[in-house]
Homo-oligomer: A and B are copies of this chain.
Amino acid sequence: MEDTLTLPYSAAAAKAPIKRIPVAVLGATGSVGQRFVQLLDGHPWFKLHEVVASERSAGKPYGEAADWRLDTLMPNDASALPVKPLGVELQSRLVFSGLDSSVAGEAEDEYANRGSVVVSNSRNHRMDADVPLLIPEINADHVGIIEHQQKRRGGRGYIVTNPNCSTIGLTLAIAPIERLYGIEAIHVTTMQAISGAGYSGVASYAILDNVIPFISGEEPKIESEPRKILGRLENDGFIDAPFRISAQTNRVPTIDGHLMTISLSLRSRNFVNLDQVREAIDNFRGEPQHLHLPSAPRKPLHYVDGDDRPQPRLDRDRERGMSVSVGRLRPCPLLDLRMVALVHNTIRGAAGAAILNAELLEARGLL
């Protein structure tokens, strides 16, 4: 097997904590929650200690409460953990949230106010003025806002978030170009996998031999989140990056992996050099790579050669699903550049992103 797909967590990670930090997962029986449980198995820094779900599951062992749907077996340790009800007092300070957005807003606030560090994949607090929306390769410095948030909450607790699954793919793919030339406008059309909607989110009758040109609430997220992520943290708040975004989202019959076609217009369009862009993508590194965080891919972006790449089934699992693949970079007859990007929506685009965020917090001494 190719190494980048089977790499276990890096043994060389700097600053590893002396003993593994106990963590809780909120919404542990759902699809994002199951990914948290899967990815935490064997994690060198974190140890799954508590699983939290709705009242209905509370009291049952996790192995019984969760209708496990991933293609690896449920970790034995997780299976025996008793499910705790949402709202209960937790022993772990570090809390991953895979809660549904219908309950995440209030529940995450409550835990943060009680002192928890809530690392959330939910959309509810992403755009809050004092909550960082993190892609650690891009805006690790946005953790600087945390002390403002702690002040507001009057304690040590706080929330950090990761972006929407498509936003992560898009923003990582354009970040090196933004640094190189500055971006003025982004036009993106996504072709998103069914797993993005959770296990029961898309009926097979709706999607077999079909494409659905609409995903509820998705376009506004993609049109706003990248501006916060690529924006600046100044004294006491975020200043959005000034580019405009048009996003058109589609659901296609793939299982995992959001593919997107991207066109960009640049600020300094006179000097665009495709080879330079390609190199900037492939050589892109950020703080997770410098800090050797355990979940950090060796390369956050892989430029894939070949006219017809990246493709979801062939490229989504690169570096355990933590790398974004980019290909087909070429001039756009309308804007300046165009290209194709792919992100594994439930790993780099969800649970894996949150775990990487938590690793950043630990490495920065914020836990």
Chain B residues, Cβ within 8 Å of A110: none
Question: Residue A234 at the B interface, CB < 8 A?
Answer: no
Alpha-carbon gap, A223 to B330, bound state (A): 15
Nearest chain B CB to A108 CB, angstrom units: 26
Nearest chain B CB to A121 CB, angstrom units: 18
Nearest chain B CB to A84 CB, angstrom units: 24
Alpha-carbon gap, A203 to B313, bound state (A): 14
Alpha-carbon gap, A214 to B339, bound state (A): 11
A307-B252 in contact (CB<8A): no
Stretch at the interface among A159-167, A170-178, A188-196: A188-196
Chain B residues, Cβ within 8 Å of A332: 246
Chain B residues, Cβ within 8 Å of A189: 189, 248, 261
Residue of B whose beta carbon sits closest to that of A223: B333
Question: A205-B255, A210-B254 in contact; A263/B38 too (CB < 8 A)?
Answer: no
B203-A202 in contact (CB<8A): yes
Alpha-carbon gap, A194 to B311, bound state (A): 16
Stretch at the interface among A45-53, A68-76, A271-279, A289-297: A68-76
Alpha-carbon gap, A150 to B43, bound state (A): 53
Question: A213-B311, A263-B187, A328-B213 in contact; A253/B252 too (CB < 8 A)?
Answer: yes
Nearest chain B CB to A322 CB, angstrom units: 13
A313-B71 in contact (CB<8A): yes
Stretch at the interface among A1-9, A19-27, A93-101, A139-147: A1-9
Chain B residues, Cβ within 8 Å of A187: 187, 263, 334-335
Chain B residues, Cβ within 8 Å of A11: none
B209-A209 in contact (CB<8A): yes
- Residue-wise, chain A 302-327 has the 8 Å CB interface mask toward B (1 for contact) of 00000111111110010000000001
B213-A208 in contact (CB<8A): no
Question: A204-B208, A253-B253 in contact; A2/B72 too (CB < 8 A)?
Answer: yes
Alpha-carbon gap, A216 to B163, bound state (A): 34
Output the residue of A75, A186, A206 with the most chain B CB within 10 A.
Answer: A206
Nearest chain B CB to A41 CB, angstrom units: 7
Chain B residues, Cβ within 8 Å of A261: 189, 213, 248, 250
Question: Residue A200 at the B interface, CB < 8 A?
Answer: yes
Question: Residue A259 at the B interface, CB < 8 A?
Answer: yes
Question: Residue A299 at the B interface, CB < 8 A?
Answer: no
Question: Residue A212 at the B interface, CB < 8 A?
Answer: yes
Nearest chain B CB to A209 CB, angstrom units: 5
- Residue-wise, chain A 59-102 has the 8 Å CB interface mask toward B (1 for contact) of 00000000001011111000000000000000000000000000
Question: Residue A338 at the B interface, CB < 8 A?
Answer: yes
Chain B residues, Cβ within 8 Å of A75: 2
Residue of B whose beta carbon sits closest to that of A194: B204
B72-A5 in contact (CB<8A): yes
Residue of B whose beta carbon sits closest to that of A308: B214
- A-B contact list, 23 entries, CB within 8 Å: A1-B38, A2-B41, A5-B73, A71-B313, A71-B317, A187-B335, A191-B211, A194-B204, A194-B205, A195-B205, A200-B203, A203-B203, A204-B204, A204-B208, A209-B255, A209-B312, A209-B313, A210-B311, A211-B254, A246-B263, A246-B335, A248-B261, A253-B253
Q: Which 6 A-B residue pairings sit nearest by Cβ, starting from the closest?
A: A2-B73, A189-B189, A214-B308, A2-B72, A246-B334, A248-B261
